[in-house]
Amino acid sequence: MVRTVYSPEYCLQYLEQYASKEIFVIGLILGQTTNVRENVIHLARTPEEKTSENGSESNYSMDKVETVKTLLDVSEAWVADHAKHVTRMLPGGMFVQGVFVTSDEDIFEDPNCFSKVRSILNYTYKALGSNSYMFGNSPYSNDRLILHMSTSTKVLTCKSIEINAPNKNTVIKPVDWKFLSKPQQWQRLDCYYEFDEVYPVIVKKSGISVKQQFQQILESAHKTIESSVMFIDGELKDGSESLDQFTKKKKTKNNSKQTQNETPKSMHVSLFVPFENALPETVEYLECDGSIHFSGVVSSSVFMYPKATVSETIAAVKQDIIRSLASRFTMHCDALIDDNLLPEEKVCFNEPPRRVLVPVGSLHLCDYLFPGEAPAEALLSVRELLDLQITEADVICDVETPADTSEFDALDRDASSEELLATPQEASQFMYITGICFAMLVLIVSIIIHYYDSIVQVFSKVVSKS
């Protein structure tokens, strides 16, 4: 059975735009795969490769641009880095599905070109899988798309290959790519997940960095979210039921009519953690060097194909929350000057970037803004990473509010007094001394009770003699 992929018609116009200029372009295919359908949502050109002065690859902040004119000159690491940045911007359930190329060569007939494309896809797959909490690779299939448009004939060809397969066993599968003249309908699901946890900081001999501590927090958060139960509009649904069946039942129940072109209303998602899963398996008493109070609300907006199942939707929402946390932690750690987990200050406040939404067709992707950054900063990321031209007014900035620092300011004022904030060592000494005093008091009371009768008799004899 031939694999079928659906995409909006503007993707064809996007390819023709570059093919008409007869220039080489490589980029990413972004979309969603479910058990019933595969949808492409956007094609994003990979930015021109940027290098440092010594010729080594660097990040996207470098100014020196190296123009790549042929597929054989493309750096696998540069495309993979682009894929990692774009994955941060994708909601849960969306993935990098492959690459597209506009060139004069027939990449499927030229062995060198095809080998290069396969190398790029394999390298990208490994790079996206290096951080499991980013959910960079789709769990549904190891096949990746290769879309090619000839700059000379304007012929469009799409095929797929299996990632990490031996070269001799690589099977090229045909793909039927269909462009939709009408906008694809999506079901939006919104969730606000609140975190309010305190995590101990234990510094071992080898030390611990902010990044290592955040990885431990991610691991704990992932276990909690995976064990949670999801309610859609306040109802617990069967995992095999599709989302459109859910909406049809609600329309029938409310006796309301909905036109075919009307956009379905957003569904509200709530995640509840079972009580037994909220408790740790074992309780350990450890002397800590400090603690991290992890508090805030993660805004999640997931877009699913209406015929996707509830199980697929649950997985997408949970992916979105963890992917968002992993993205913020990575960006926050990259921005830190000092990676030391325990600063000189007794209380230290850190605010990771907050989430904003950016429109892509009929749905939204996301970006992250650090404290003090304006929506214009998101335009730069969208323009460079997604190859989209949007205005500052298009950026939705109110899905998450900036952090309230009033509580921290109060703690910071208290921290100026050495008497009010004890160091971890002082706190442990205080608890240790308190424990000894209490034990001595219990011992004295026990002795009095044990020898109570003897004391009473001696006291009676003394009284009688007197």
CA gyration radius, the chain: 30
Q: 268 and 173 share a domain?
A: no
Residue 419: its pLDDT value, please? 41
Q: 62 and 169 share a domain?
A: yes
Q: Which parts of the chain register pLDDT below 50? A: 55-58, 61-62, 259-261, 417-439, 458, 462-463, 466
Query: Domain containing 104: what range?
Result: 3-180
Q: Is residue 427 part of a domain?
A: no
Q: Is residue 452 part of a domain?
A: no
Residue 51: its pLDDT value, please? 62
Residue 240: its pLDDT value, please? 92
Q: Is 122 left (phi over 0), alpha (psi -120 to 50) or beta?
A: alpha
Q: Is 154 left (phi over 0), alpha (psi -120 to 50) or beta?
A: left
Q: 152 and 233 share a domain?
A: no
Residue 354: its pLDDT value, please? 94
Among residues 110, 145, 180, the one where a domain terminates is 180
CB 154 within 8 A of CB 16: yes
**AA letter at 14:** Y
Residue 166: its pLDDT value, please? 72
Among residues 180, 213, 243, the one where a domain terminates is 180
Q: 20 and 83 share a domain?
A: yes
- Only one residue has tokens 């003699």, namely 465
Q: How far is CA 24 from the centre of its chain?
A: 32
Q: Is residue 157 part of a domain?
A: yes
Q: Is residue 465 part of a domain?
A: no
Q: 114 and 230 share a domain?
A: no
Residue 275: its pLDDT value, please? 74
| CA–CA gap between residue 123 and residue 149 (Å, rounded) | 23
Q: Is residue 453 part of a domain?
A: no
Q: 256 and 157 share a domain?
A: no
Closest by CA to 271, choosing from 237, 225, 324, is: 225
Q: 291 and 349 share a domain?
A: yes
Q: Is residue 421 part of a domain?
A: no
Among residues 161, 180, 199, the one where a domain terminates is 180
Closest by CA to 336, choosing from 248, 211, 233, 228, is: 211
Q: 176 and 191 share a domain?
A: no
Q: Is residue 431 part of a domain?
A: no
Q: 300 and 377 share a domain?
A: yes
Residue 120: its pLDDT value, please? 97
Closest by CA to 328, choosing from 302, 356, 300, 352, is: 352
Q: 164 and 256 share a domain?
A: no
Other beta carbons within 10 angstroms of residue 363's beta carbon come to 20
Six token digits for residue 185: 């309908």
Q: 267 and 363 share a domain?
A: yes
Q: 191 and 329 share a domain?
A: yes
CATH code of the domain in which 44 resides: 3.40.140.10
Q: What is the mean pLDDT of the chain?
A: 82
End-to-end CA distance of the chain: 112
Count the domains in the chain: 2
Residue 353: its pLDDT value, please? 93
Residue 55: its pLDDT value, please? 47
Q: Is residue 115 part of a domain?
A: yes
For the chain, the three-class secondary structure string (H helix, E strand, C coil) is CCEEEEEECHHHHHHHHHHCCCCCEEEEEEEEECCCCEEEEEEEECCCEEECCCCCECCCCCCCEECCCCHHHCCHHHHHHHHHHHHHHCCCCCEEEEEEEEECCCCCCCHHHHHHHHHHHHHHHHHHHCCHHHCCCCCCCCEEEEEEEECCCCCEEEEEEECCCCHHHCCCEEEEEEEECCCCCCEEEEEEEEEEEEEEECCCCCCCEHHHHHHHHHHHHHHHHHCCEEEECCECCCCCCEHHHHHHHHHHHHCCCCCCCCCCCCEEEEEECCHHHHCCCCCCCCCCCEEEEEEEEEEEEEEECCCCEHHHHHHHHHHHHHHHHHHHHHHHHHHCCCCECCCCCCCCCCCCCEEEEEEECCEEEEEEECCCCCCHHHHHHHHHHCCCCCCHHHCECCCCCCCCCHHHHHHHHHHCCCCCCCCHHHHHHHHHHHHHHHHHHHHHHHHHHHCHHHHHHHHHHHHHHC
